[in-house]
Amino acid sequence: MVPQARDTDILILGAGGAGLFAALHAHKAAPELSISVAVKGLLGKCGCTRMVQGGYNVALAKEDSVERHFMDTIEGGKWLPDQELAWKLVTLAIERIHELENELGCFFDRNPDGTVHQKAFAGQTFDRTVHKGDLTGIEIMNRLAEQVWARRIQRLEEHRAVELVKSADGASIAGALFIDMRTGEYLFVRAKAVLLATGGGPTMYRYHTPSGDKSCDGLAMALRAGLALRDMEMVQFHPTGLLAGTHTRMTGTVLEEGLRGSGGYLLGGDKQRFMPNYDPKAERATRDFVSRAMFSEIRKGNTTPHGGLYISMAHLGAERVRKEFKGMVERCADCGFDLAGGLVEVVPTAHYMMGGVEFAADCTTGLAGLFVAGEDSGGVHGANRLGGNGVANSTVFGAVAGDAMAVWVQEHGRFSPPADFDLARYERPFNLPRGDLEAIREKLYDTMWQRVGIIRDAPGLKRALGELEALDAALDETGIGSQARAFNLSWHDWLNLKSLVAVSRVIAQSALAREDSRGAHYRDDFPDTGDLATSAYTSITADGRVAMKPVAFTRVRPGQSLLKHAA
């Protein structure tokens, strides 16, 4: 089977906030270059940027400052963020929000005096989250997609990237290999520069929030291309995922943080509050604390019929809850729960991966011509991402990547002859007897939730690594029982699981290597934070080797602050 081939100067993998911003910026910087955006789903309709509810962090108010946003990001990240990346995030977020409003046409909520309304989000010392009601992501993605459609930018929709193809001499990127999901045919796209922006996505956990098209393909491809991933043990769980049984995909979706923020209670299966036993801030503690306390209660067996816990809002008054949380009340009602007056079953749900490809502040990676941005990248958030810093990250670094790729292609860009690629890796499930992919997925969910999830220890992580190895071997013996190629969902499911298992292994290996507890990573056998002044981050390659690399405190050291009054 010989892949079709085509050429483009700049190839962008993924069409979320990062991919689309990159396309627009590259086009603006160098309109003469050909740019192609390839995406597993439909452009503008998939990925997690579209799902952003809460909003976008940016220091706009006179009383706020980039220094304050920076310090919140560094302290929230438990001193593990790369400080140059975090600085770029907070400073360029201001440019991007103005571009979103004034050039791309986003309407964000405003105060009566005409200034942009900014709301409170957990972990921040200032109310700096810009939003459009609770549908901020739809506003951003619709405007971005319209602008991409209006320009001479090629779209490869329902094209799944399966491999980053290096040049024959191995020195640079030569392009990427795709499966056209509509026909099942392979396509090789030769490119001078490639952006990896497929958005990570911890969908290997039993309960998760990201969109179903995200299966860590980009991270798995980066590992196979020899790139190092950092902070992979840092997986953020959101405390209140809806738990409505296995028959609905609503299970795992987020019930917003404001429910706890406004005074909601979490109850065990015994209908008693348990958070005050764990933390003086009770339900208003940060996401990592609350998730951990919830997981402990679940482990004790104090659970609801579906094995989770309850959120209760009724004591705030049903009318108020209906008014303030209309969307959430409706979502719960769809699943048979009465949020305003009754109890709703919830469970912590895997939300975001702080880890990703190691990269520099201009979005370059260890492979010449390959750039990375958004949730596929690592180092901006360290051990924890502040709510609202996710979409800021993807739009800020997407734009940086677009600008940088345009310059790079103009200065160094050339089409390189590609190294050989072997289609056998993707063809494998066609040549094996039909097996049970669902059983493999269930086992993966169990392993990751029980042993590589919210509370970890060495015996559990070692056991998980054995189980993940066995799952990978099982996948290699599992066929899909069909030769159909067009929209063969079993084939894509198989490919998804291959990526998820590969990335699960590096999460478990990195978690085993980090012998302390920071932010999203908690080790029962190493509960202390460790010395902040000698903080190191994990860096892992495909061979499973983990290096602990010291964090460079380029702007501020633990115990110091950039804020004048705190110095």
Ligand X SMILES: Cc1cc2nc3c(=O)[nH]c(=O)nc-3n(C[C@H](O)[C@H](O)[C@H](O)COP(=O)(O)OP(=O)(O)OC[C@H]3O[C@@H](n4cnc5c(N)ncnc54)[C@H](O)[C@@H]3O)c2cc1C
Q: Which of these segments, 32-40, 304-312, 341-349, 474-482, binds ligand X (CB under 6 A)?
A: 32-40
Binding mask 191-230 for ligand X (x = CB under 6 A): ------xxx---------xx--xx--x-------------
Asked if 254 is part of the footprint of ligand X (rule: CB under 6 A), the reply reads: yes
Q: Is 63 exposed, middle or buried (0-12, 13-18, 19+ CB in 10 A)?
A: exposed
Write each residue from 443 to 482 as x if it is in contact with ligand X (CB under 6 A), else as -, in one continuous string.
Answer: ----------------------------------------
Measured from the Cβ of residue 374, the count of other Cβ atoms closer than 10 Å reads 34
Between residues 303 and 349, which has the closer beta carbon with respect to ligand X? 349
For ligand X, which residue has the nearest CB?
Answer: 16
Structure tokens at 99: 């571009």
Instruction: Write the binding mask 115 to 154 for ligand X: x where contact by CB under 6 A, - elsewhere.
Output: ----------------------------------------
Residue 318 token pair: 């049903």
* x/- track of binding to ligand X for residues 152-171 (CB under 6 A): --------xx----------
- Per CB under 6 A, the segment of 12-20, 463-471, 481-489, 502-510 that binds ligand X is 12-20
Known active-site residue 238: yes
The conformation of residue 163, written as its DSSP 8-state character, comes to E
**Closest distance between ligand X and the C-beta of residue 27, in Å?**
17
Q: Which of 260, 441, 505, 523 is catalytic?
A: 260
Nearest distance from residue 90's CB to ligand X, in Å? 13
Q: For residues 338-377, which are near ligand X according to CB under 6 A?
A: 352, 374-375
* Two structure tokens written together for 236: 């953020």
Among 39, 144, 243, 500, binds ligand X (CB under 6 A): 39
Q: CB of residue 134 vs ligand X: minimum separation in angstroms?
A: 8
Provide CB contacts within 8 A for 290, sequence distance 6+.
239, 260, 266, 275, 279, 283, 348
Cβ distance to ligand X smaller for residue 39 or 556: 39
Closest CB to ligand X among 25 and 451? Answer: 25
Nearest-angstrom CA–CA distance, 257 and 457: 28
Q: Is 382 a residue that touches ligand X (CB under 6 A)?
A: no
Interface with ligand X includes 510 (CB under 6 A)? no
Q: C-alpha 1: how far from its chain's center?
A: 34
Binding of ligand X at residue 97 (CB under 6 A)? no
Task: Write the DSSP symbol of residue 526.
Answer: B
Q: How far is the CB of 372 from ligand X (least distance, A)?
A: 10
- Distance separating alpha carbons of residues 329 and 337, to the nearest angstrom: 8
Query: What's 411's DSSP letter?
Result: H
Q: CB-wise, 274 or 421, nearer to ligand X?
A: 421
Q: How far is the CB of 156 from ligand X (least distance, A)?
A: 8
Beta-bridge partner residues of 172? 368
| Strand 185-196 relative to strand 4-13, pairing | parallel
Which member of 8, 11, 12, 14 binds ligand X (CB under 6 A)? 14
DSSP designation for 13: E
Give φ, ψ of 215 to 5 degrees.
-140, 35
Give the residue with the Cβ less far from ligand X, 205 or 352: 352
For residue 96, which of 59, 150, 151 has the smallest C-alpha distance?
59
8 A C-beta contact, residue 198 and residue 176: no
List Cα–Cα distances, 310 to 244, 301, 307, 315, in angstroms: 11, 13, 10, 14
Cα 213 from chain centre: 12
- State the catalytic residue, choosing from 69, 128, 131, 238: 238
Q: Out of 9, 27, 30, 47, name the contact with ligand X by CB under 6 A.
A: 47
Is residue 56 within 8 A of residue 93, CB to CB? The reply is yes
Residue 52 has φ and ψ, to the nearest 5°, of -60, 125
Quick one: which of 13, 80, 380, 465 contacts ligand X (CB under 6 A)?
13
- Shortest Cβ 398–ligand X spacing (Å): 7
| In the complex, minimum distance from the CB of residue 563 to ligand X, in angstroms, rounded to a whole number | 23
Candidate residues 11, 18, 448, 452; the one interacting with ligand X per rule CB under 6 A: 18
Give least dist CB 246 to ligand X, A.
20
Closest CB 445 distance from ligand X, rounded Å: 17
CB closer to ligand X out of 96 and 451: 96
Q: In this structure, what token pair is assigned to residue 440? A: 């493999």
Q: Which is nearer to ligand X, 205 or 274 (CB)?
A: 205
Alpha helices in 428-457 (DSSP H): 437-451
Q: Determine the distance from the C-alpha atom of residue 182 to the mean position of all C-alpha atoms in its chain, rounded to a whole number.
A: 26
Q: How far apart are the first and last CA of the chain?
A: 64
CA 391 to chain centre: 10
Please give the size of the binding site for ligand X, defined by CB under 6 A.
Answer: 41
Q: Which is nearer to ligand X, 347 or 461 (CB)?
A: 347
Asked if 180 touches ligand X (CB under 6 A), the answer is no
**Footprint of ligand X on 391-430 (CB under 6 A):** 391-392, 394
Of 8, 36, 53, 303, the residue at the interface with ligand X (CB under 6 A) is 53
- Compute the least distance from the CB of residue 460 to ligand X, in Å: 26
Residues 314-333 interacting with ligand X (rule: CB under 6 A)? none
**Pairing state between β 546-550 and 154-157:** unpaired
CA dihedral sign, ordered 86, 214, 159, 15: negative
Nearer to ligand X by C-beta: 88 or 451? 88
92 binds ligand X (CB under 6 A): no
Q: Residue 53 and residue 73: Cα distance in Å, rounded?
A: 20
Stated as kind and residue range, the H or E segment containing 288 is helix 287-300
**How many H helices and E strands in the chain?**
14, 19
| Binding-site ranges for ligand X (CB under 6 A) | 13-19, 38-41, 46-49, 51-55, 160-161, 197-199, 209-210, 213-214, 217, 254, 352, 374-375, 387-392, 394
Known catalytic residues? 238, 260
